[in-house]
A and B are shown apart, each in its own frame.
Chain A
Amino acid sequence: MTKFFQTLMDGMAVGSLYALIALGYTMVYGTLQFINFAHSDIFVLGAWISYTIAVAMGYALAGTHPPLYAGILIMLAAMATCGVAGFTIERLAYRPLRKAPRLNVLITAIGVSLFLQNVGQLKWIFGTQPQRMPSVLEDRVLANVAGVQIHLVDIIGIVTALALMLVLDWLIFRTRLGRAMRAVSHDTSVAALMGINVDAVISFTFVLGSSLAAAAGFLYAMKYPGLNQPAHATWVLLGLKAFVAAVIGGIGNIRGAMLGGILIGFIELFGAAYLSPHLRDIYVFSILILVLLVRPSGILGTTVAEKV
């Protein structure tokens, strides 16, 4: 039973991070109908920017516990930086191709992804070495219920992820801007006819998705402080799993992405804990195949009106 609840806890912690990344994939798909392959690199950027800021702020490896606001500050700074990066990428790489065939944009996205990976490896950016993220948030065992350990970092991660998702949900379904986003995702040209500034809405979508990915990057770096170098295959795999989460939930559907992320977290960890750890990536991708066969539009991806 201990194992079951520990796995549940870990699955939730991993899943909420997948969900945060999946949101960016799904939002861009909702508005532009293309898969932004550079999104996982924005997530990596978020993690590495958090590292850079934390080191610049002088939080040494085994130093004292920095105050809580330091963590919040670093996360917000990473979110802002990645928001700007997302905006710039959309403006420079994707907007000129707005009228081009969709395949061109897709290939450009792969190009942007390679560009970010390789620039990130430069000596004066992040370098080619793995680094240890300073522990900005205090990590201790909050509670130990019959051997099930509940870590502060995991709780902070889950709570932050859920809070951000709630804010996003409110933003999209309860505000004018959100309504504009939904309108653009519904029908870009009609939305433009109704006086919606489509370019601004698309830019905003990228900023939003990128800053959520940055938040995920920060939380990830807190949970797994040994950061792999920016072009490591692990990051690509993580991005792919988040993408699978978006597809499983129903690509283009915000709530679907959240559900898909958490589901993937559970599938991966329960599979690894109870079936075999050798195949943990395989469970995730098998589920993808299954969903695509049985329910190609994803779990929540019905023909609902709200598609963003």
Chain B
Amino acid sequence: MSLIVCRTRLTSAFALFLLSASLAGCGGGGKSETILIGHFGSMTGSEATFGQSTDNGIRLAIKEVNAAGGVLGKQIELKTYDDQGKSQEAGTAVTRLITSDKVVAVLGEVASSLSLAGGRVAQQYGVPMISPSSTNPTVTQIGDMVSRVCFLDPFQGWVAAKFARENLKAQNAAILYDQAQAYSKGLMDAFDEAFKEMGGTITTIQAYTGGDQDFSAQLTTIRQTNPDVIFVPGYYTDAGNVSIQVRKLGLTAPLLGGDGWDSVKLAEIGGSSIEGSYFTNHYSHQNPAPEVQNFVAKYKSDYGQIPDGLAALGYDAARLLFDAMNRAPSLGGKDLAAAIASTKNFPGVTGKITIDAERNAQKAAVVLEMKDGVPAYVTTIEPAP
């Protein structure tokens, strides 16, 4: 399928190129009436809901802004490429967005490893990129073109540790992380450090490789150490699989994860095994704030499902980009990137977003519990002052 899709996408990219060339030709150097932005995400693959949710969120934001007259009097148009959750594809997708589609800005990715691959390309060409939900610190260290609208792994790991210590009263924790993902490794490090600092004990640190289906050796080792909580900072497909085997092995300790769990697929795969486990996230759809409920209602009516955190972040990233476009002196890479970086207290559905000097967002995290297959709001944890 990917072959066929590539073919049609190539054709459409080519067609678009011809179209823009002809427009420029007959208009006597006139500007096109739309502003093109790009999105690269995992539309297929084992993290497919990440890309799809984000894309839905972005499209909803675009629909709204276009209905309200667009940005700078022009309509926004979106070009999405699938990277299949593979870093080499992510680099190719961003290159294509910038060089052949000539987008003014890029949105993406969810997975930090892929944002790193795409971000390097964006930086090289001097086109601003906003990652909606990559939480690994290294992502924005690429350079001044790359920023994000979500919190970072050290903070998320710290939130998970604080929740485990203070709310779950856990003394001992075991960790099972995905050694192939920068995201998972980052969360593991942060949790390990914070949990020990708060007086807890890490009984064992075990690893798997994303996509593995057999965790019996690791879980047998974990079972021996008898932890109060098991921290599994992986993605939802793996977390679902881990939960099944954890319960099969007779372990009753709750699992604790990060925003990588945020997908309707988690409950589908994990089934009853994932019930009663917790994860940290960017927002809760149960938040009664009017802007959140407004967003949830609109998203539901367009896509027929409850928006997950990634959809909310995609929505926020796109809206923050439009806000920056309005403020920027021009849509050139440097100007636009500077406008994004100077964002203060932007009212997003995932909280107030302020971009700091490292182009990261400062905001609070929520903790959710899986209840009857739906993530239910438990508590909000603010950054330490």
Contacts and interface: CB of A to CB of B under 8 A. Distances in A.
Is chain B found bound to chain A in the same assembly?
yes
Contacts of A2: 224
Nearest to B242: A226
B323 to A, nearest CB: 34
B202 to A, nearest CB: 15
Contacts of A228: 46, 211, 213, 237
Interface of A: 2-3, 6-7, 10, 14, 61-62, 118-119, 121-122, 128-132, 139, 141, 144, 149, 151, 220, 224-226, 228-229, 231-234, 237, 268-270, 272-273, 277-278, 280-281
Contacts of A233: 211
A2 B225 CA distance: 13
Nearest to A9: B216
Scoring B179, B220, B240, B268 by chain A CB atoms within 10 A of each residue's CB, the highest score goes to B220
Interface string B185-206: 0000000000000000000001
Contact of A273 (B48, B221, B268, B271): B221
A224 B217 contact: no
Contacts of A149: 248-250
A3 B271 contact: no
B208 A277 contact: yes
B269 A277 contact: no
B244 interface: yes
Given A119-B1, A132-B269, A149-B249, A232 B44 contact: no
A128 B214 contact: no
Nearest to B214: A14
A119 to B, nearest CB: 7
Interface residues on B, range: 35 or more
Interface in B5-59: 44-46, 48-49
A7 B219 CA distance: 10
A224 B44 contact: no
12 contacts: A3-B220, A6-B220, A14-B214, A61-B268, A62-B271, A62-B272, A130-B237, A130-B269, A151-B248, A226-B270, A231-B2, A277-B221
Given A61-B268, A62-B272, A237-B211, 17 more contacts: A7-B217, A7-B220, A118-B3, A119-B1, A122-B1, A128-B1, A130-B240, A132-B271, A149-B248, A224-B241, A226-B269, A228-B213, A232-B45, A269-B214, A269-B216, A270-B217, A278-B207
Scoring B46, B214, B237 by chain A CB atoms within 10 A of each residue's CB, the highest score goes to B214
Contacts of B2: 118, 121, 231
A75 B355 CA distance: 55
B212 interface: yes
Contacts of B249: 149
B265 interface: yes
A229 B45 contact: yes
Contacts of A10: 214, 216-217, 220
Contact of A232 (B46, B221, B248, B268): B46
B217 A280 contact: yes
B88 interface: no
A165 B218 CA distance: 29
Nearest to A278: B207
Nearest to A123: B1
B261 to A, nearest CB: 13
Nearest to A122: B1
A131 B48 CA distance: 12
Contacts of A119: 1
Contacts of B212: 234
A234 B211 contact: yes
Interface string B253-278: 00000000000010011111000000
Scoring A7, A128, A141, A226 by chain B CB atoms within 10 A of each residue's CB, the highest score goes to A226
B237 A269 contact: no
Contact of B218 (A62, A118, A144, A277): A277
Contacts of B211: 228, 232-234, 237
Contacts of A278: 179, 207
User: What 3 A-B pairs have minimum CB-CB distances, sorted nearest first?
Assistant: A272-B217, A234-B211, A128-B44
Contacts of B250: 141, 144, 149
A245 B2 CA distance: 31
B209 interface: yes
A234 B213 contact: yes
Nearest to A224: B213
B31 to A, nearest CB: 38
B42 to A, nearest CB: 10
Scoring A118, A132, A139, A277 by chain B CB atoms within 10 A of each residue's CB, the highest score goes to A277
A112 to B, nearest CB: 14
Contacts of B1: 118-119, 121-122, 128
A220 B248 CA distance: 15
B349 to A, nearest CB: 26
Contacts of A131: 268-269
A269 B265 CA distance: 28
A220 B241 CA distance: 13
Contacts of B49: 129
Nearest to A225: B244
Given A228-B46, A229-B46, A273 B209 contact: no
A228 B224 CA distance: 29
A272 B176 CA distance: 13
A121 B85 CA distance: 14
Contacts of A62: 271-272
Nearest to B42: A128
